[in-house]
Amino acid sequence: IALAVTAEATRDLRLTTLVLGNDFRHPLFLAKQAATLDLLSDGRLELGLGAGWKTSDYDQSGISLDSP
């Protein structure tokens, strides 16, 4: 929501996410959210994705952390 509000309030500011842990969101849902935000911001979204590394985050979510 914060990035959508920022996109609406600005015209030149690039919108970035740092790194989103891609194992914690369904890929189709994340793709739809990113596409919508990129459309709202006229292409200013820079989406950072990563696998994550903290085993405690995965343990708390009930997801197994696969090795690279």
pLDDT of 68 strictly over 80: no
Looking at beta carbons, which pairs linking 22-28 to residues 24 or more positions away fall under 8 Å? 22/49, 22/50, 22/51, 22/52, 23/51, 23/52, 23/58, 23/63, 23/65, 24/52, 24/57, 24/61, 24/63
Identify whether 13 is part of a domain. yes
Identify whether 59 is part of a domain. no
**What is d(CA 17, CA 47) in angstroms, rounded to the nearest whole number?**
6
Q: Give pLDDT, residue 21.
A: 85
Q: Give pLDDT, residue 40.
A: 95
Identify whether 61 is part of a domain. no
Number of domains in the chain: 1
Identify whether 18 is part of a domain. yes
Identify whether 60 is part of a domain. no
Identify whether 66 is part of a domain. no
Q: Give pLDDT, residue 29.
A: 95
- Segment 12-48, tens digit of pLDDT: 999 999 888 888 889 999 999 999 999 999 999 999 9
